[in-house]
Amino acid sequence: MYTQEITVKNEVGLHARPATYFIQKANEFKSGIWVEKEERRVNAKSLLGVLSLGIVQGTTITLIADGSDQEEAVKALVELIENNFGE
């Protein structure tokens, strides 16, 4: 299992288009991937799950991956968030 905390800095948080990019990136990996906010954990490959967390600008989340490509998965998602989802 590989985990990393990151703070979402883009203006709209993880809603609609950024969430779609996030899920598409998560689905490139074989590992199980989850997003945790406070005490809630959802599947990072589920649009409804990710949107249900209500992640806004300034929210710190934990990315958790478990599987053969867990480290690469978390690093790719962190990079996507740090680059403001390519926007």
Tell me which of 10, 12, 15, 42 is the catalytic residue: 15
Residue 57 near residue 11, CB atoms below 8 Å? yes
- The helix/strand count (H/E) of the chain reads as 3, 4
Residue 41 near residue 87, CB atoms below 8 Å? no
To the query of whether residue 15 is one of the catalytic residues in this protein, the response is: yes
Residues catalogued as catalytic:
15
